[in-house]
């Protein structure tokens, strides 16, 4: 009988300075201070040998590889220390950021420059200026390093094709399309871009990962809920089904922060996703740091109901801790506010898990995780939150025993 409430992460961890600097410049012993400080905390016993190697390395490409591999090791050990059951690829240490990392490996796409995304945020947006295809593997190196060093099963997060296309300009496929209706032309060109992204970039990547031994791939699609119109949601379903077709691998979806629209629309379409074994969703950020499992106690988790009512029958990765700045108050039993962080207690995690399980109706379908990646938190805070998640899952197991 497998353990109830397995614990996982969603993806990212903050990158330490030595990881960022070490990619482009040689490191000094001073630069590695933070690594040295964390080595005993995380049980990295051969730290001094590894550090010596990096400090002495004169070939910058070899040094980069060593730094990347070491940062993956740190990420894996941090997740292990917290007590997670699946440590992913060790905090996505080998990726710049979820969009850029993929796009720079796509032939036919160029970065156009910084573009306003919303509010005061800008991002480097790329354009498909000619027919696209993958230049070389994107996540494989990181997966192989994780496989080499991980002491637990591995879930590989990848950026989904719908998001990659939505966050890009589409010149090539628009220019190709001759439909005189601007609306139809735009829709047809978008679909063609998306299907190409799947066929020429994402599926070859999944093929390489599965051939190298990957048995679980999490497809991140933050763009999905930003276009709740039926045409777009159907396009997403078509894209998902085409992406996973034929692969013998577990697939899960992570979609987060849908804003006021909420998860309602995703809940309506989720049952149409083929081979979607799990939906990893965020709830903690919309929930209050207060204990309780009575009917109206956990407003943040009510959104689960619609998924269940609509007939999604897979697992849920339930977001049990917040991953961004917090500016409210927490009941002392539920957590502690330290600066801009709320450090949730295991009891709060337990209550969230128990509450979610009641809505889902089948505790064996519940996984526990942070709301999203932890890259905006310090390692101390990330470790504290993840440890609470693991301990909270333990407490929840006791409730069900």
Partner 1 sequence: MKWKVSIPGPYTFSELSENKHYRNKPDLLLDLARAEREIARRLFDAGVSLVQISEPCLVYQPYRESPLDGSELDLAFDGIRYVTEGRPDRFLVHTFFGDASPVIESLLALPVGAVGIDLYETELSGLHAQTSKDIVLGIVDSRESNVEDSHWIAETALRSKNHIKTPKVILAPNSDLKFLPRQIADRKVSTLAKAASLLEAS
Q: Does 127 help bind partner 1 (rule: CB under 8 A)?
A: yes
Q: How far is residue 323's CA from residue 282's CA, in Å, rounded to a whole number?
A: 10
Find the shortest distance in angstroms from Cβ 104 to partner 1. Answer: 18
Q: How far is residue 33's CA from residue 184's CA, in Å, rounded to a whole number?
A: 57
What is the chain's alpha carbon radius of gyration, rounded to the nearest angstrom?
21
Q: How far is residue 350's CA from residue 356's CA, in Å, rounded to a whole number?
A: 10
Q: What is the DSSP string of 182-223?
A: HHHHHHHHHHHHHHHIIIIIIHHHHHHHHHTT--EEEEE-TT
Q: Does 264 help bind partner 1 (rule: CB under 8 A)?
A: yes
Find the shortest distance in angstroms from Cβ 181 to partner 1. Answer: 6
Q: How far is residue 244's CA from residue 37's CA, in Å, rounded to a whole number?
A: 42
Find the shortest distance in angstroms from Cβ 185 to partner 1. Answer: 9
Find the shortest distance in angstroms from Cβ 313 to partner 1. Answer: 24
Q: How far is residue 304's CA from residue 160's CA, in Å, rounded to a whole number?
A: 22
Query: Residue 377 has what DSSP assignment?
Result: S
**End-to-end alpha carbon distance in the chain:** 12
What is the footprint of partner 1 within residues 131-190 (CB under 8 A)?
A: 169-171, 174-175, 180-184, 186
Name the segment binding partner 1 (CB under 8 A); options: 222-230, 283-291, 333-341, 346-354. Answer: 222-230
Nearer to partner 1, 26 or 177 (CB): 177
What is the footprint of partner 1 within residues 3-32 (CB under 8 A)?
A: none
Find the shortest distance in angstroms from Cβ 113 to partner 1. Answer: 5
Map residues 341-380 to x or -, x wherever contact with partner 1 holds by CB under 8 A: ----------------------------------------
Task: Kindly list the residues in this chain that would bind partner 1 in the complex (CB under 8 A).
Answer: 112-116, 127, 169-171, 174-175, 180-184, 186, 228-230, 260-261, 264-265
């Amino acid at each position: 009988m497998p353990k109830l409430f397995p614990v996982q992460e969603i993806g990212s961890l903050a990158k330490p300075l030595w990881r960022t600097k070490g990619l482009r410049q040689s490191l000094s012993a001073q630069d590695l201070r933070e690594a040295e400080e964390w080595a005993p905390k995380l049980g990295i016993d051969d730290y001094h040998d590894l550090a010596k190697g990096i400090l002495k390395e004169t070939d910058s490409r070899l040094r980069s590889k060593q730094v990347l591999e070491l940062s993956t090791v740190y990420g894996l050990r941090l997740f292990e220390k917290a007590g997670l059951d699946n440590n992913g690829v060790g905090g996505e240490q080998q990726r710049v950021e979820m969009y850029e990392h993929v796009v720079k490996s796509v032939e036919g796409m160029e970065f156009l420059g910084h573009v306003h995304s919303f509010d005061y945020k800008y991002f480097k947006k790329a354009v498909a200026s000619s027919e696209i295809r993958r230049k070389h593997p994107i996540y494989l190196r990181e997966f192989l390093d994780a496989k080499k060093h991980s002491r637990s099963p591995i879930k590989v997060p990848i950026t989904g094709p719908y998001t990659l296309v939505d966050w890009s300009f589409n010149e090539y496929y628009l220019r190709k399309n001759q439909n005189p209706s601007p609306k139809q032309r735009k829709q047809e060109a978008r679909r063609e871009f998306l299907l190409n992204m799947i066929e020429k970039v994402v599926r070859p990547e999944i093929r390489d990962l599965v051939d190298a031994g990957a048995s679980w791939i999490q497809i991140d699609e933050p763009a999905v809920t930003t276009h709740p119109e039926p045409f777009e949601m159907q396009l997403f379903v078509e894209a998902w089904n085409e992406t996973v077709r034929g692969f013998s691998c577990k697939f899960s979806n992570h979609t987060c922060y849908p804003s006021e629209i909420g998860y309602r629309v995703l809940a309506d379409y989720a049952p149409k996703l083929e081979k979607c074994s799990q939906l990893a969703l965020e709830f903690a950020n919309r929930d209050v740091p207060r204990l309780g499992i009575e009917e109206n106690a956990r407003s943040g988790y009510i959104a689960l109901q619609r998924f269940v009512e609509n007939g999604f029958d897979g697992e849920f990765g339930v977001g049990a801790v917040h991953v961004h700045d917090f500016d409210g108050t927490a009941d002392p039993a539920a957590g502690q506010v330290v600066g801009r962080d709320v450090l949730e207690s295991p009891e709060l995690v337990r209550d969230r898990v128990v509450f979610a399980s009641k809505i889902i109706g089948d505790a064996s379908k519940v996984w526990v995780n942070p709301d999203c990646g932890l890259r905006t938190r310090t390692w101390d805070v990330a470790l504290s939150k993840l440890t609470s998640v693991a301990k909270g899952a333990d407490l929840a197991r006791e409730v069900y025993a």
